[in-house]
Amino acid sequence: MKVPNGWLQWVYLILALTGGILPTMANIDFMHQYGPEFDIGLFIKLANINPAAQSLSRDLVIGAGAITIWMVVESRRLQMRHFWLVLLSTFTIAFAFAAPLFLFLRERRMQEMAK
């Protein structure tokens, strides 16, 4: 097995942090505009308000679904620790955070296995 590049894990970590911050900022803006309780029904309605929003929403749901299935399978194959944090963060923070976090943890696991 080829030893993975050490720098790649840090790229994934930066993407995870960015993927956590930017959607959170948008969610905070949503709550400021529409009330402090996060109205998921309204959120979904607004995410599908026009064809462009529908395209992005559907693209995210289908892509995130496929990647989440792969992440579950891959985490079991590599016997990754703390995968539950990735799944939890998918729903509590953002998929844009969880997917790069998974890739960061995967790179670290692959480095462990290469030793």
Each residue's pLDDT tens digit, 8-21: 999 999 999 999 99
The whole-angstrom separation of Cα 28 and Cα 39 is 12
Each residue's pLDDT tens digit, 24-83: 999 999 999 999 888 999 999 999 999 999 999 999 999 999 999 999 999 999 999 999
**Counting beta carbons within 10 angstroms of the beta carbon of residue 99, is it exposed (0 to 12), middle (13 to 18) or buried (19 or more)?**
buried
The rounded percent of the chain whose pLDDT value lies above 90 is: 90
Each residue's pLDDT tens digit, 46-62: 999 999 999 999 999 99
Q: Residue 28 has what pLDDT? A: 94
